Chains A and B, each alone.
Chain A
């Protein structure tokens, strides 16, 4: 640094004369302390260097003085045996919250559960998969109770139990009532029996918020067992459903996998008739859907009984329904043993009638030997309990897993009754409506922190094991019971002992590992004797049911269910598969009735939908200012309203949406006679999809009927789009019409995803699984309303504008030059055909998004993925504009650690659910489906480390994993033995908007319906 230049002061210096030397030496009396300044005499540090050092050290000191974020992480003192950082562990366990029962696999990272996966060993699946997959977030809920509370004060468990035991003793024989959810747990039943031994006045009342009592009673009457018949639909040829949402929550759900199997297009494909009031998922998937209000449904059931069992016609039905019943009867008669009639009418007689029909048909689809045990509730007992509570006959009420103060139709009576109790203990995860009434609130753990067993069906069982140490100071209901019984053992010991005593020949460790087990010798005590059935009387009663005014059909949404998980932002933001509304419940009404009542839905200038408000009244109970939604396909004369909304207690303010419909759920009947009147006001919906039809476009959902599919060439029903080149038509995938020189894709992996539109029911499990795997943020109602939802995977729902999609296309072709497109744009309100289509990033090989990014933040992976580099993205959003599929999602705000978006990403507990393998995106960047590249990459690396080729089943995405209907198949198309390779060669394969030639790596399989087209044509 220092310069070597010499400066001279006098000419003598140049000549280095001795005189100068001498003078210089004698200039100062003492030598200058230059050495000290420079360090060493030959130091080259100059003033400039000095300034640099000062500058750097000041800057360094400044930076060091800035406070970095302090993250409290405590290293393991000893490395646990099984926990390897960066490696996931999976545990099999079971969810049983009284409404949803499912055997699941739980993915944990560093001891922290982050995702729910399906357990493929479970045969009796049940419940809405969306809720099951979302249940993990309910564990990381800041509103949870963290400690037991006595009279609103936090106490230790020792104090709590001492106080409860003391109070139990003081009851002196007054009845103790357990009001619990359906545990379906043999061990818990045993435990309650033991409790009964100590306190003989104990009674156990099982309460299902959404009742299946009618079916349970009917089954009990017929077969002497309180259970639900199991329907094995995979071999079905004819499924006739009368008001049963078999793809939804009907009788505990769980029919969809088998249903999807039966829907595979072949000669054996099932045909599905659906008679229903609200347009449900089942109705959307049915070949023939007939809108019929609940009272008509009853008559249809009677008519079917008469036609199939007695061969008579007795009931007057509208002409179009009679025609459809005729057709159904014809089809059933062609193959009786593989046909089934099911009903969702909440009436013991109706359920009984359906069973009788199936028995008469000798249907092999109804399984009564291994019935489902996941509902035990008895409406009558619950009502009796409330009555007794009000009479002051009950000493102690101990609730667990239920929230009657919210969900009972007569919740007010219940609340009043609690005042007469000597003791009320509520075992609850939240300070919900019921817990806030109780003197003693036992904080219970989430199922992922608990032990337990579940009996799905008579012969199939599952074990629940904790996947994390309880986050809070909680104790599960069974442990409390053991303590109150004065036992030292934990519920784990109790459960293990019970298991070893009762399941001969089964290994505890193996069963715990598998999560599920079958025990063929399982015995269930018959509860009562069979009762004879007077068909004539039943039919007469059902057929005569008539209702004045509107009929309300209450239902549960596939996202919200009975409302237990209302504080779960994933589920709140999960769109209803039919209406595509989020964060809401509302009255659905048919267009015809809406016009009569003067009700409308309005589209605002920002594209959002607003609706009118109504008051509805059932008997003496009314619900005020409920938003109303005009629903295509709603049976005229009927209204729909979802249960499970409108909860207030123990919920974040953002989640307190909707109206509580339980007060209208009189006598636990899902159909009610109702009065409706329009009121002043306006409601803002947060609807994800505003356009309801495909506007006659052919390349979105391809559909054909079974006959055409079986007997005609692919060209007829699934023609590859063509492109004109030099006045000759070339198929769009031909190299001749390709502008690009693409690289050799035959080397290495090439991922493709195939979506079978026949298997997809639109349930949305994949949507939640994608949220969970990819850290997709929740953005809240206002943002969804502005079309800013962040879903990487959406399930489009289309209604036809005519009676069918074919008619819609025909309409467009015949449209006059100066006719508006209203005809094809507006859904048919009477009874539209419905179609579902999951859409995520299509990973185009010729991706329009990739070319337009100015900074090259989007690249195409060697393995076919379209890769988004968040770090490089500057947020011009050009890619999203240029995406024909509109699957790219922009971070309009910072969604994490932001009080404006106070969802799970805004607190430390909620952030525990985040997948450490996936970046949490910052604001201002684009994001989208990545084909779960973190998962495929892991599979490749695992195989590489083990020195073997990757197996086909190892390649998975979260959505494909979540779908046990087999609608999504993911894999390496270069592996000629892979499933996805087979799918890619299937005749049904087509690309969404294939004519664009963007060569998507997502394929769709043409939907094949089982409509009797030939016959219909000849009839016409």
Chain B
């Protein structure tokens, strides 16, 4: 009864998997070789990354003027991308920490990749606050480090400073949490690794994991503690990012709804990105049995809930902007002014992508449709990018003094850096997919008997109390003793037959010994291997061979595997000549 799960629950691992299958399926991409598709995608990502790197170098060496910003809109794509990437980095910790605390077992198939995505996304996000600075080489000034500048200290009033702490804390906790979970899986790869180099690397990575009960106990404890630590971070990070806007005086930014709305939006976009990545990964790495349609549906439900929160927030923002009666609120990013103004397309892109399209997921058929889910997840990612673009650019473009109203259009550098971070993200993710266990196999194994397809079926067939280790349909063991005898008898027969043949051969050509053997390799088609075989039979000299006829060659053919029958025709002639020399 210890592995009981209600039969109505759909299995989380399908396809009759046993423990060994899990291991095999998950290490396959690591131990195997990358296919052509991987190389193509990786090359594209790498090129994009290098292009972005070039754009960053150009920006840092020339000035922020290479971007499309101006005196009115001093942030645009940079902070849009920053918030977008931070948002994407939200799903990982939610899945691994919050769902762990809530004992949601379906998280086990996806948490590893979701966390990896989180970390890679936060790395991208972290780039922007640094490169968007006018003097990025002084970026360390935002750290509260004792310095030689006298009493200079950071400004703890600034939300940007809170960002520094929030993002760095989030990144480090996520990294530790992710890595902790990886330990048993690395150990598994280490134990399987055949090449010494690989074994060495993975044994370093696995921190000497031994698989003892004590290891497992500590592992579980640390996971719980970290989950407890990470859970508030899920809320805090985007709350603090939202303070960048909410604590300002810019109409449209200054909004008390921002913290919860940003968190919901972040989870919304994070899950969308997880969908995008996992739908591809399950296909490419043949993990359909672990990341099932069920998983996808469950994630779609999270998307529905958070999307709903976001939608309500939009409506609230729109309503409040109108309800204030303040003319300064007429042009905020969710307002009538925005919907009809020069940025109408950005406004409607937001509404369409984030509010309308996700509504289709209310229909079960669409929710379980993998292709549609994939399309929706990409649309949500686009929509969430527009949300941040709208908040930043639309609100700034029509500020309080109309004389300073302006608009923004990106330069190739803006675009290049964004594409570069996409490239960088995928480079990291693709490398991860080929060198890390992409599913937390140790955890999946812990629920295999509970929720594996095979075991569920077993329980269904034989009752809940079935002993899963005493498999009922085992065949009786074969009669090993008889088999051995039979085999020996057969070998003896063969040996006898060979002896007779050799005897008759030597009778014809005469005996010889190894003492002054001729060099048989001079015969056509004879190499060292064949010479050895001939010697074993007792053929040493040219004289013996010169006496051979077709009959003898037929015997040799039977005695020696892969005997060069066609060449042996010449041997007696050749041997004759060689003998006379």
Q: Which residues of A contact B (CB under 8 A)?
A: 603-607, 689-691, 693-698, 700, 783, 786-789, 794, 796-798, 812, 817-818, 820-822, 837, 839, 848, 851-856, 872-878, 880-882, 884-886, 888-894, 922-926, 992-993, 996, 998
Contacts and interface: CB of A to CB of B under 8 A. Distances in A.
9 contacts: A690-B407, A695-B330, A786-B68, A794-B403, A817-B322, A853-B160, A856-B154, A878-B244, A886-B399
Interface size class of B (residues with CB under 8 A): 35 or more
Contacts of B366: none
A822 B341 CA distance: 9
Contact of A875 (B64, B71, B322): B64
B62 interface: yes
Contacts of B249: 848, 882, 884, 996, 998
A603 B63 contact: no
Contact of A855 (B155, B397, B409): B155
A689 B405 CA distance: 8
Given A700-B401, A884-B399, A996-B249, A821 B340 contact: yes
Contacts of A894: 63
Given A852-B157, A872-B141, A886-B399, 17 more contacts: A605-B409, A606-B407, A607-B397, A607-B407, A691-B404, A691-B405, A697-B328, A787-B406, A837-B403, A839-B403, A852-B248, A855-B141, A855-B142, A881-B74, A882-B248, A886-B400, A996-B249
Given A851-B157, A855-B141, A890 B330 contact: no
B71 A889 contact: yes
A890 B136 CA distance: 15
B36 to A, nearest CB: 41
Nearest to A809: B327
B168 interface: no
* Interface hub of A698, A855, A881 (most chain B Cβ within 10 A): A881
B164 interface: yes
A545 B216 CA distance: 104
B65 A876 contact: no
Contacts of B136: 874
Contacts of A695: 327, 330, 402
B134 A873 contact: yes
B132 A876 contact: yes
B161 interface: yes
Interface string B401-431: 1111111110000000000000000000000
B159 interface: yes
B155 A884 contact: no
A225 to B, nearest CB: 46
Interface of B: 62-65, 68-72, 74-75, 129, 132-136, 138-139, 141-142, 152-155, 157-161, 164, 244, 247-250, 322, 327-328, 330-331, 336-337, 340-342, 396-409
A991 to B, nearest CB: 13
Contacts of A817: 322, 336
B71 A798 contact: no
A926 B70 CA distance: 12
Contacts of A604: 407, 409
A693 B69 CA distance: 23
Contacts of B398: 691
Contacts of A694: 402
B2 to A, nearest CB: 54
Contacts of A880: 71, 74
A818 B322 CA distance: 11
Name A's interface SS: loop
A373 to B, nearest CB: 40
A820 B160 contact: no
Contacts of A922: 135
Contacts of A854: 142, 154-155, 158, 160-161, 164
Contacts of B135: 873-875, 922-925
Name B's interface SS: loop
A798 B402 contact: yes
Given A607-B406, A690-B406, A697-B327, A881 B75 contact: yes
A876 B133 contact: yes
Nearest to B70: A787
A873 B142 CA distance: 11
* Interface hub of B62, B155, B331, B402 (most chain A Cβ within 10 A): B402
A993 B160 contact: no
A698 B158 CA distance: 31
A924 B133 contact: yes
B156 to A, nearest CB: 9
Given A786-B70, A852-B160, A996-B249, A886 B327 contact: no
A877 B403 contact: no
Given A787-B70, A851-B157, A852-B160, A884 B400 contact: yes
A885 B401 contact: yes
B248 A848 contact: yes
B402 A697 contact: yes
Contact of A877 (B74, B397, B409): B74
A892 B401 contact: no
A798 B396 contact: no
B244 to A, nearest CB: 8
B134 A882 contact: no
Contact of B142 (A606, A783, A820, A874): A874
Given A697-B402, A854-B158, A891 B142 contact: no
A895 to B, nearest CB: 10
Contacts of B322: 817
A884 B400 CA distance: 6
A891 B134 contact: yes
Nearest to B337: A821
B241 to A, nearest CB: 13
Contacts of B160: 852-854, 876, 878
Contacts of B331: 821
B73 to A, nearest CB: 8
B281 to A, nearest CB: 37
Contact of B134 (A877, A884, A885, A996): A877
A893 B62 contact: yes
The 3 closest A-B pairs by CB, nearest first: A875-B134, A924-B134, A607-B407
A818 B133 CA distance: 41
A537 to B, nearest CB: 50
Contacts of A996: 249, 400
B414 to A, nearest CB: 12
Contacts of A992: 401
B393 to A, nearest CB: 11
B336 to A, nearest CB: 7
B400 A993 contact: yes
Contacts of B399: 884, 886
B401 to A, nearest CB: 6
Contacts of B342: 603
A191 to B, nearest CB: 50
B465 to A, nearest CB: 64
Contacts of A892: 63-65, 69
Contact of B407 (A605, A848, A875): A605
Nearest to B62: A893
Contact of A852 (B69, B129, B159, B402): B159
Nearest to B330: A821
Contacts of B63: 891-894, 923-924
Contact of B402 (A693, A820, A848): A693
B137 to A, nearest CB: 9
Nearest to B392: A881
B65 A893 contact: yes
Given A852-B159, A924-B134, A890 B74 contact: yes
B71 A852 contact: no
A885 B399 CA distance: 8
A366 B519 CA distance: 137
A839 B63 CA distance: 27
B56 to A, nearest CB: 15
A884 B402 CA distance: 11
Contacts of B158: 851-854, 856, 878
Contacts of B139: 874
Contact of B400 (A789, A885, A891, A926): A885
